[in-house]
Amino acid sequence: MVPDRGPRREVAWQLVRELIGQPGIRISNRCPRCGADHGPLEVEGAAVTASVSYAAEWAVVAVAPAAAGTVGVDAEPEVDPRRDRTGLTGVLGAGPATTRDWVRVEAALKADRRGLRVEPGLVRVTGTDGTDDETGASWRARVPGRANAIDGWDLDGPPGILVSTALASLEPADR
């Protein structure tokens, strides 16, 4: 949990450093499109991939070996009066969507590394009944422009926070 009015980014990045446990790493999050500090997390000096999400007073991080692909994580409050007032209808395509639907799509888009440059409503998530498929994933996402499906898992988060993480294996052209 981030201390009241604390610097969430600093806390998250410190968590990433602690999970990696290797001195001398550098972390950045430059947007590939505009150069601002809101792009995918990049870790230099360690063979890992990392992702960060913020929900209420929480900073949530995920770290995976780079050889496995790229990781994405998203977290959202289960109850958000502003979001709940406007609803998620139409955000993920036609019809209603739940907050859980959103965190799955956002985690997959972060793992894809293009984030919201891909229209979230075009992402198709399947296997959401909680049963693992042959990959061990609890759900899979098909992201436009990507040959391989992205595997995802719903995680236990802090009380009142929904968390999903996703792992995008390296595309054949990326190897």
Q: 175 pLDDT exceeds 50? A: no
Q: 149 pLDDT exceeds 50? A: yes
Confidence of residue 86 (pLDDT cuts 50, 70, 90): confident
Q: 134 pLDDT exceeds 60? A: no
Q: Are strands 150-155 and 58-65 parallel, antiparallel or unpaired?
A: unpaired
Whether 104 and 154 have beta carbons less than 8 Å apart is answered as yes
Short-list 4, 11, 23, CA closest to 54:
11
